[in-house]
Structure 1
Amino acid sequence: MAMKNARILLVEDDEDDYIIARDCLEELDEYTFEIDWVATPHEALEQLKGNQHDICLLDYQLGALNGLTVLEHSTAIRCRVPIIMLTGQSDKVLDKLALDAGAVDFIVKNELDSPRFTRAIRYALARQEVEKERLERINAETKSRSKDRFLAHLSHELRTPLTSILGYTELLLGNQKAEPVKDELNIILNNGKHLLSLLNDVLDLSKIAAKKLELNPTTIYLNSFLVDIYTLMQVAANDKGIKLRLSSITPIPDEIYSDPTRLRQILINLIYNAIKFTDMGSVEIVITSERQDDQYQIQFDIKDTGQGIPTEKIDKIFQPFEQVEDMVSRKEEGAGLGLAISSELATKFNGSISATSTVGEGSCFTAVVKCGVTANKHCAPLSLTKQLANDKQTSLPPLQGRILVVDDIPDIRMLIGHITNSFGLTVDFAENGKQALDKAILNLDNHTPYDAIIMDIHMPHMDGKEAVVAIRDQGFSGYIIALTAATMKGVEQQLRTLGFDGVISKPVDKALLHHSLSKVLAPQNGQKVRVENEKSEANEADNSTPSHHIMLVEDDVDAAEITKLLLESLGAKVSVAHSAEQCRALLATEKRWDKILLDLHLPDEYGLDLAKHSQLTSYTDELIIISGEDLSEEQLKHEGINRALLKPLNKQKLATLVT
């Protein structure tokens, strides 16, 4: 068995006792000890201050002072070293004083050669190892959180100027006056998009490493999806004078259920790489589809006639920042992240990416992904001319309405104003959340509320999160879109919970912004869209039915406020308690509640204990636990709980309570 190393501080003013303790320590076979010997309390505290030792053996009697003084001072200097007190004779009172002062054990010196001393040393070292592991885990978690905050800040700081660069360049390209410099503007636009793609690659890789990247599956019309990618890649192939072919060996499903953004990212990375490293010949994409129970397995073989990859480098190309050519001398652009990200994404799809290659003849990259099956299970041969009804329209229909654009950066504020104005909308501006709140209140008081608000998240004076809660609190029920550069997992859900109806990431996609606004704003022919009709019908229904009276017991003030606002927007009457004590006070004033929402973790009592001891079930038709952890049905049933809602709460979840 391998020997363990341990560093011991021995505080002893008698040299003979030091030698005896040292010899006893050396008899412990499984440890090799490095012993530091000091003789005074002052020297002991200087050594303990550094927390460099695994254990300290501390003599009780040290000249005019005693070991208890060292123990008391060690607590003040935040010493984490376990201390064992040594004394010349057994004394129960002294034993208790030492343990109360922070010692982990108390040993009489004539027991130094006994099994009790051996056990005390082993237990103290074991506890120290556990404590070290705990501190290392805390440090790792702290570093991970710091990294997340840094990435969020980096994303915001980089995406914000890119919004202006890309947005204004696109605006200028649409202006006839810019015709003489159109080539130069296209260079700016293309390089800006390239910079954005590199930023996205770095952030994607970081999210994958932190296990924070999630898929957002939806229905994909596969034929049209593939034609779009083929059309896009055809431009790059034409630029290099090579042929691009797309075909399928088997019929492919009309529809699949998967994440279109991430699947597109995999295919574009692989196809673009093939085109990039092929100077003459062709790139061929061959698709094979196979139904496996409740999912499709789809295989994409991307074959090229390019330069090929040496056998010894095949595995390395899927590692971050690894490329076939030298980073300094190579002529191809990119940071070497595309294949690494594609490989990780394929794993997210329960698939894989592999490669075979012959130098001088070409390569074949094979991507296998698994996708869900939709209600439409029909399969048909691939058609490069087939267009589906859901394809994006090239022209954006004009809208009508009045909106408020909120952003602290003038360039972006003006850019969003230009874009929304091009939709046919009347635009007002605010520089921060406080100004947005003031304008929203003023327009509400004048009975001319905005039809929609587009609001940045990070602003001085009052940020977007604070502003949306305050604006909703004033009674604004219109559509509010969050404008954010933060794309980490959970951000969109958090923003929707606060009161935002939609989230648009920076840089702003004009078509996506139009699509989001078109859900609630009328087109210029005056015909109201379906969403608004549904809202008005829902409001009429709410007015015709009696309100639910709900007690919300939640200690987090912000969480309670947004939950209350959401429930009230659904027509419920809500009373809030922030503790078990306030809950009991509300029960004393009113005996019947339609529902009681009870947070699991309250400052003065555990939620399940409150439910049991206060017999909350006798006050309500339905008792619902709010929790950030999954609770078993048996546990809920045993405590008389009807059901549980998993945090974070949103309007959709809460709507089930008032229907």
Structure 2
Amino acid sequence: MTKQVKPVLQAKILLVEDDEDDYIITRSHLEELTSFDSHLTWVTNSVEGLQKLTEGNFDVCLLDYQLGAETGLSLLKQAVESGISTPIIMLTGQPDKQLDLQALEYGAADFLVKSELSEARFARAIRYALSRREFELERLNRLRLEADNRSKDRFLAHLSHELRTPLSSILGYTELLLESNHTEDARPELNIILNNGKHLLSLLNDILDLSKITANKLELRPEPTSLRHLILDIYTLLKVTAIDNGLELTFNSLTPLPVLITVDGTRLRQVLINLIYNAIKFTDAGSITVDLWTQQDAAKEMLMFRITDTGVGIPQRQLKDIFAPFTQIEDYLTRKKGGAGLGLAISAELIQRMGGRIDVASEEGKGSVFTFSLDPGDITDTQRKPLSLEPSLNNNGGAHSKLALTGEVLIVDDLADLRKLSAHWIQATGASVDFAVNGAEAIAKVKHKIASGSYYDLILMDLHMPGMGGREATVAIRETGYQYPVVALTAAMAKGIRQQLTALGFNDVLSKPITKNQLYRALRCYLTGNSALTDNSAADSLPLHFLVVEDDTEAAQLMQILLESLGVKTTLAHSAEECMRELALLHRFDRILLDLGLPDSDGLQLIERIEHNYPDNIVIVVSGHEHDIAASGSAIVQQSLLKPITKQALNSLVLTCR
């Protein structure tokens, strides 16, 4: 049996000692330490000692207490105050407990008496000092890494803002032109601008997602999700792109599919769009086929996806690298396709986090097949149906094509283009607008309104402006006594920002680039008026549809009877999970009446889940005590009803929805 040999430690040691005899004795001690391979440097005074320590090339410093007319304590103190991390062992000729304590208080790693030195004692002190240095270096590296990560996060937040701001103008004005009646001849060119602007936005989102993955900050939010709705959304989105490229896009279910699955629908949609769009991009002729089925995998039933294309294919030598970040296929046929090479890397990471895996098979000139699995949650008792991509005829909760609103909105943004774009959308609803170019001007305008006895019904406040930003301005506006809604506009949607802004006095936050749907959701929540279909007869033909979330069966049934007597179709849910399942199937109700005391979830947490996944809904809180709507920090909570609920209260609510 081979005897294990302990590794010899390498140690660069600085000796600060003014006595040559003591230098020789110390060197002899070090030479006798067989467990160390030490390199000794000797200096005779504190000035040279501090200079050497500042250079930072030593693992340990042995410092004599008595250096001529001064003591080593002064050098020890200077070294610690200068941030020198090299551990220092104090040496003295006589034992002195008070001196020992003083040296340790000043920051010495150890205290040794020269006359009592033994090989074991000396070795232990140096070994401890080396361990302490290693720990200190690890701590400094960790602090440096954390500082670097904070710098990177700040840079990405700044980059996000700088890119999203011009994209807001590009996308918004292009959509505005496409909606007008004066640009028929330019529609193809405008669609190109719009599609390329959306492509730039998707690249920006990919970069931010990869940064979150790298920093382990990307969070999944699994919720009950309608698989059919998700697939129908993707098919509707991508079929036009496929047709424009002369390709056929088909979806097939190889087995009956669960009606509801529990996944992060936003991230699954992102993965499928990435893979299908790639297939379209790298296919010049033929088809893209997406197959779905369920498959038993060990003890778990998994949901499977297979995307098959008839495109250019991928060289075998590059298959192992395609899921690495920033990797693209370097083929003369595909260089023209562009992209940042992030989509597949992000998709692979998301699939892994959703409990699955992804594989690829490909042949140059014949096409590629991407197959991936994911955990759909417990689907044992879930209803199953073949996939149908026919548009649903079900009531969608009264989708409204036109808003009729009243009130005045103050738009605070330093960019004239974005002020003009937002104003056009707002004025189309019937509301009026006013403008401020920075926080200081916004404060002045609010004060002027208050002095004249009037107010703005809503303030849209950009957070990042020269001079005074939106945060400081909103705090100052709240101090004037202004109690109406303030909505933040920002490109930097970091984790926890909604809670931070709520604490400052904001009611909601919208991410840039702002879409018309986002803006109209906020206007519906905060301005008075009606959301009505342009055709009033059509509006009359569609009954209102409410979702009542109440765990008390008798109370829920009573509310259903009262609402249906008022002509309102009513769906009941007795828990948070039932609520999310109903929303997964229908997506939007005219109102959600939500009891805060549910058996499986805190009501406020459920509101947050609804807002994240189905933000076009409006929630009416039903509670046994007064609920502070502003304190909830949610944009979708419009009002509260106090139990017991009367028919008169419900009738008033119904009238505001018609």
Same fold (TM over 0.5): yes
Out of 444, 454, 477, the position equivalent to 1:448 is: 454
Query: Aligned in 2, Cα 1:258/1:513: closer, same or farther, shift over 3 Å?
Result: farther
Query: Aligned in 2, Cα 1:376/1:235: closer, same or farther, shift over 3 Å?
Result: farther
Give 1:487's aligned residue.
493
Give 1:87's aligned residue.
92
TM-score, normalised via structure 2 length:
0.74
The secondary structure found in structure 1 opposite 2:251 is: strand
Is 1:260 equivalent to 2:265 in the alignment? Answer: yes
For structure 1, which runs of at least 5 residues remain unmatched after alignment?
532-648
Give 2:426's aligned residue.
420
Shift, 1:125, TM fit: 1.6
Paired letter, 1:23: S
Match runs of 1:161-560 below 5 Å? 161-289=166-294, 297-325=302-330, 330-372=335-377, 377-387=382-392, 388-390=394-396, 395-524=401-530
Contact 2:404 2:532 in 1 (8 A): no
Contact 1:215 1:259 in 2 (8 A): yes
Paired letter, 1:450: Y
Query: Aligned in 2, Cα 1:491/1:92: closer, same or farther, shift over 3 Å?
Result: closer
Aligned equivalents of 1:269, 1:485: Cα separation in 2: 23
Shift, 1:285, TM fit: 0.4
Contact 2:438 2:469 in 1 (8 A): yes
Out of 21, 24, 32, the position equivalent to 2:37 is: 32
Aligned equivalents of 2:337, 2:17: Cα separation in 1: 69
Aligned equivalents of 1:289, 1:518: Cα separation in 2: 41
Paired letter, 1:508: I
The secondary structure found in structure 1 opposite 2:266 is: helix
Query: Aligned in 2, Cα 1:490/1:348: closer, same or farther, shift over 3 Å?
Result: farther
Query: Aligned in 2, Cα 1:392/1:222: closer, same or farther, shift over 3 Å?
Result: farther
Q: How big is each residue's C-alpha offset from its partner over 1:535-594, in whole Å with a ceiling of 9 and x where there is no partner?
A: xxxxxxxxxxxxxxxxxxxxxxxxxxxxxxxxxxxxxxxxxxxxxxxxxxxxxxxxxxxx
Paired letter, 1:118: A
The secondary structure found in structure 2 opposite 1:335 is: coil
Contact 2:357 2:373 in 1 (8 A): yes
Shift, 1:419, TM fit: 2.1
User: Larger deviation: 222-231 or 328-337?
Assistant: 328-337
Paired letter, 2:486: I
Aligned equivalents of 1:29, 1:448: Cα separation in 2: 87
Paired letter, 2:22: D
Aligned equivalents of 1:374, 1:411: Cα separation in 2: 49
Paired letter, 1:110: S
User: Larger deviation: 38-47 or 237-246?
Assistant: 237-246
Aligned equivalents of 2:442, 2:380: Cα separation in 1: 45
Give 2:76's aligned residue.
71
Out of 26, 33, 49, the position equivalent to 1:44 is: 49
Give 2:113's aligned residue.
108
Aligned equivalents of 1:52, 1:328: Cα separation in 2: 54
Is 1:4 equivalent to 2:9 in the alignment? Answer: yes
Contact 1:269 1:338 in 2 (8 A): yes
The secondary structure found in structure 1 opposite 2:421 is: helix
Aligned equivalents of 2:163, 2:452: Cα separation in 1: 39
Give 1:58's aligned residue.
63
The secondary structure found in structure 2 opposite 1:356 is: strand
Aligned equivalents of 1:221, 1:442: Cα separation in 2: 50
Contact 2:412 2:437 in 1 (8 A): yes
**Alignment: residue pair count:** 538
- C-alpha root-mean-square deviation of aligned residues, in Å? 3.4
Shift, 1:456, TM fit: 1.0
The secondary structure found in structure 2 opposite 1:73 is: helix
The secondary structure found in structure 1 opposite 2:493 is: coil
Contact 2:110 2:125 in 1 (8 A): yes
Q: How big is each residue's C-alpha offset from its partner over 1:254-297, in whole Å with a ceiling of 9 and x where there is no partner?
A: 33443332221110100111122222222110111469999984
Contact 2:400 2:531 in 1 (8 A): no
Aligned equivalents of 1:126, 1:146: Cα separation in 2: 30
Aligned equivalents of 2:425, 2:301: Cα separation in 1: 40
Contact 1:71 1:101 in 2 (8 A): yes
The secondary structure found in structure 2 opposite 1:314 is: helix
User: Larger deviation: 180-189 or 297-306?
Assistant: 180-189
Tell me which stretches of 4 or more aligned residues in structure 1 moved more than 6 Å: 290-296, 373-376
Give 1:125's aligned residue.
130
Paired letter, 1:515: R
Identity of aligned residues (%): 51
The secondary structure found in structure 1 opposite 2:55 is: coil
The secondary structure found in structure 2 opposite 1:168 is: helix
Shift, 1:405, TM fit: 1.1
Query: Aligned in 2, Cα 1:430/1:651: closer, same or farther, shift over 3 Å?
Result: same
Shift, 1:484, TM fit: 0.7
